[in-house]
Structure 1
Amino acid sequence: MKILTTIITSVALFISITTSKAQHRSELPAQDATGISLDDIKKTKARFKYEIERTKTRSLPITIDTNFDSFIDEADYNEVDIEALQLNDIVHHNFQKDIHNYKAIASYKIGFSEDFYSIVVTVIKKETKMESILINYTLDGKFMDSILVSHDDLTESSTRTITNISESTLTRNHIFIEDQQERIEESVYRIGTDGILKELSSEEVLIDKVIRQLELRYDKVNTHLLVTKVNPANTQETIMVIPEYAEIDEDEIYFELNSHIVVVTNLTGDIIHHYFESSKTNGMVYDAVRLSEITIDTAPYIVAKNARAFGVRVNFYGLSKANPYSKETISLFVKSGNTLKKVVHNFDVMEYGGEWDTNCAGAFIGTKKILILSKQVTKGYYDIIVKEKITETINYENEEGDCDTKEKITSNSGRLLFDGKTYISN
């Protein structure tokens, strides 16, 4: 019996060793693309989820001003799972690679989105430097992006970092003390819906300030058609057209846009003039005829003795190859108190259309109009002379089978007169 038991044990041990070697050779644990075993991934996910659930949440907006004076009492600290949050990689990779001696002392969540997690972690490095880091993770714990949001240094009192965070943007201020003078370098980041942080240009910062003043959400703004231009009549100002979705289908095959026309100060981004128009009257509809572009026209439209207008041009084009179509309209605006007055409404300055066989034969007509301010005045505003050029084109196949063109050009002129509220055709 003793011999049998020994034999069985030896066989079992042999099978175990053989199986182990075979697995090691050809049946390694299932791995993801990084080479980490799936079992480890499952453990990491569970550990990350637990860390997320036990981390407290702070509401927005929030100012992050990390300093040693903020960590006096025991309640100021909380336990942080370094491995679950992958801090060894994040802290060393994104900041100072030569520093490995650090302690994570506190953390809290910020609720930017339901699609990813955001955690602010505070760490002490070499006992003299304290940093807070904003880290974004996917819902299953994969690192997305991170940024230093605040710091304090006991060995160097001439610099510090403070960050203000809103629902969509992060404004980071690096503060330097030089010759008893404070200098601030400001950087603004947008937190995308994908959790990635993007530093904004000066123009984008200005746009962000205006969108927040208008209390609009970024997902309700058509940023592709949004346009800005410095006002040549006052280079301290910028004119903006901000299109806001009024109605949209899921595939964006059709949408209507409300329009916010604003004039803002370049220094602060404050709105000093604002005009709102609904999609029901501004003509900004993207349908079978596509709204392709909005531009700001700052030509010197001197419409009255002390009034210079600027234009907003809107371009459209049709999708039909057999029936090509395009159009451009212009609206003119003048400053009036803290708003804008629309004195020319969606006036057609270009229209082109026709019908052809998509090979050669067809007929087309194109109209272009130029607006010229006259010296004659009607109800306090100069009349606008409209110079019109009409081009009629006929394409046909000649006797040799080549495609020939006949063209006829005519010209017209008209006037727009001010009726006390807006310009109308005479």
Structure 2
Amino acid sequence: MRRKAFNQTLKTATDLKQFQSFFQAALAHDLPIAIWRLPQDDIKNVVIDLSGQARQMKIDLEESRPGFAFSRFLNPELKETYFLNADVYFSTALDNIQYLTPPQQLDEQILQYQQRFLETFEQALEGDAPASKTTPPPSSVDNLHLATEADYTQLVQKGVEAIKSGDFKKVVLSRAKAVDLPDSFDYVQTFMQLCQTYANALTYLVYIPQVGTWMGATPETLISTDEHQHFRTIALAGTQQYNADIPLSHTAWMQKEIEEQAMVSRYIINCFKKIRLREFEEEGPKTVIAGNLVHLCTRFRVDMQDVNFPELGTVMLDLLHPTSAVCGMPKAASMEFILKNEGYNRDFYSGFIGPVNIEQASHIFVNLRCMQIAGKQAILYAGAGITEDSMPEKEWKETEIKSQTMLSVLKAK
């Protein structure tokens, strides 16, 4: 296909066809790929790393080349963050594909991979299926403990008792749940359904060879920096079912949820204090919608130019992860309890994820409301913040409600 004709085909193709073609071409060559859409945004994006493997590294947001970050919950000193270079980048706001890795950093082999990928992508866009695989290889989830209601309520009760004994003030306890994928399951169609259903979330589809395939719709910003040098983060906690008949401003919160969310806000403010940052804007808490749920949210904003702190994004990423919204307070004691008692590996659940230095902005989110695709099953992850006022049965129900974020989309297939 001539380049001009190809660009016209790309421009006129539907979003679904465009991103299915990117996904098929990446899988055909076993290349890492990330597809995402930011909250309150119609623009969908994709990056492909032509090296064939996402490197593990510590990310410097101020110095990093454009790409996409994906981190596990356990990530010592953040040195094991997976990073996909934006060797190939496209968004629905563009008319053509861009190559964001500087040319001087591309060797001859990568340029050959680029040509092969583009040829396969063109074939897929024209309607010719790539000759190689078009579904990712199954992820290994051997020996993954799937907690029953009895298992989880006992765990929560143990957490409450530890809090009352003074071990810590709060702990976030999670579990995994396996469901069969529908026969009609399609990766990119499911991503599009997530975009349509969850306007207030980062929606994503990520595949990394030898790591696996993950999808999600997460509402919680961990850190965000933009072209205006504004830093943002949020304290999001407290959960209840969304009721469209009740105005958000009339949502009633129990003392347990109010205190749980206040702990997350105090955690962020304490991080600011550690770096002697006093000039920040704070708004909230307010009730916000996240799909079928509502949460309490406090927003924080810093003008990095005014405070002369251009590296604030990287510094706060180091300090915040894992936040008290996914770990607890104090961090060390609650983390120790989680690792000793939760009984399974969270993997990328409650880690972080998002684009880095794309269009001069980085948007890193806590990886909540997510699922791992494992063969013909989806492994769903959900957790609840436990305080001394927690009731185990109620916390089980909260994790069930949170699982509906992914389940509702799978059932819609």
TM range (shorter): under 0.3
- What's the TM-score once normalised by structure 2's chain length? 0.22
Work out which structure has the larger RCO, using CA pairs closer than 8 Å and 6 or more positions apart in sequence: 2
Q: Would you tell me which structure has more strand in proportion to its own residues? A: 1
Which of the two has greater helix per residue?
Answer: 2
Say which one has the larger Rg: 1
